[in-house]
Chain A
């Protein structure tokens, strides 16, 4: 459960090449980003981390690292 794992899962969910994302990637600025990606990220957070991310969480985040902090803090709170 590291940031590196999360980045890999994030890239798979939104169908971009493995290794093309960094913690600082502003994912909503990617040319391929759209509302379907939002659903894919919510599904990934649920399936791989057991937490419910909302549309608002994604709206509020800028970078992939921001999303990891949302997911990891929700995980910690659930424990």
Chain B
């Protein structure tokens, strides 16, 4: 049985920068293209960090809010796991820096996971498993990305899609908590669908900082080697063909039926993708909360951002099935219960630590 038992979600917080970038103001698309872009993707605006703010800052703000809500002392947090693809520096892992900045004890387990859109189900599975196996009573699962920092502004296949966000999910061992059932998948044959090809050791850049030059991609867009390339059509086909099965497997593992879940939470990539997945699974739109209109595709943080952007829906205990899918290719689904009022509203912040 693919499940994490005895781990409860206590609080979810999300933080986004205050700066708003509107689709209507994106001059690399003409007005008709902007209209069609917004209709297809559902994205009206996104939040973009200023030069001094990192994913770690957004996650830290969210973590502080979650700890404050729960009244948890920092020294009681035994694990901090950060899921990001836009860490502060290549080495050391950003989670370890956050252990210090949050004032967590040196006995705290801290490490990073390099995943994007599939972060939430993977993060719950890894954090919950570590807690259960090592007997860690309380943990913070921090998830966030600043995708705006890795996309070329003139790249209309990527730049207008992404928003920046960080999140914190507070987890606690609790024998009475219902199991979190997961379905987790990978397909590296699709690695080129979303990729930052340069900057790592496989790109054979000079061993010291060499000059990074623009290159023109097969789509005619000029990018630096350390810019993100996104092939939207490949992601679209992948998502609508393989994600519904993952969600169905997680639901089946839980022993419940689709109609037993209050909400389906989907990674916020594109409205057309999510409408298609929801239709295939028989979820009507009122059971599929979104955040894409005002926050865009917030990458790894999209599921917590969507929870927090709809915090009012979670005043009472709710059963949720959530699914993340994309870069890797990596995808997964999780079923879990959220206790009453465990979701904090989205926090606007320009704080950098």
Residues of chain A having any CB pair with chain B under 8 Å:
15, 34-36, 38-40, 42-43, 46-47, 52-56, 58
Contact = CB atoms under 8 A, between A and B. Distances in A.
Interface in B183-232: 231-232
Contacts of B236: 38-39, 42-43, 55
A4 to B, nearest CB: 25
Given A54-B234, A55-B234, A58-B233, A39 B270 contact: yes
Interface string B269-281: 0101000100100
A52 B276 CA distance: 12
Q: List 4 tightest A-B contacts by C-beta distance, closest first.
A: A55-B233, A52-B241, A38-B233, A54-B237
Nearest to A38: B233
Interface of B: 33, 36-37, 40, 157, 231-234, 236-237, 240-241, 270, 272, 276, 279
A36 to B, nearest CB: 5
A47 B231 contact: no
10 contacts: A36-B33, A36-B40, A39-B232, A39-B233, A39-B236, A40-B272, A43-B240, A52-B241, A55-B234, A56-B234
Contacts of A36: 33, 36-37, 40
B36 A42 contact: no
A55 B272 CA distance: 15
A47 B276 contact: yes
Nearest to B240: A46
Nearest to B41: A36
Given A39-B236, A43-B276, A47-B276, A55 B37 contact: no
Among A40, A42, A46, A47, find the residue whose CB has the most chain B CB atoms closer than 10 A. Answer: A42
Nearest to A32: B32
Q: Is the interface of B mostly helix, strand, loop or mixed?
A: helix
B43 to A, nearest CB: 12
B34 to A, nearest CB: 11
Given A39-B40, A53-B237, A54-B234, 20 more contacts: A34-B33, A35-B157, A36-B33, A36-B36, A38-B233, A39-B270, A39-B272, A42-B233, A42-B236, A42-B237, A42-B240, A43-B272, A46-B276, A52-B241, A54-B233, A55-B232, A55-B233, A55-B236, A56-B234, A58-B233
B36 A15 contact: yes
A78 to B, nearest CB: 11
Contacts of A46: 240-241, 276
A32 to B, nearest CB: 8
A44 B279 CA distance: 13
A42 B233 CA distance: 8
Nearest to B237: A54
A49 to B, nearest CB: 13
A40 B40 contact: yes
A39 B239 CA distance: 12
Given A15-B36, A40-B40, A42-B240, A35 B233 contact: yes
B232 A38 contact: yes
A8 B240 CA distance: 23
A52 to B, nearest CB: 4
Contacts of A43: 236, 240, 272, 276
Nearest to B157: A35
Nearest to B219: A35
B314 to A, nearest CB: 30
Contacts of A56: 234
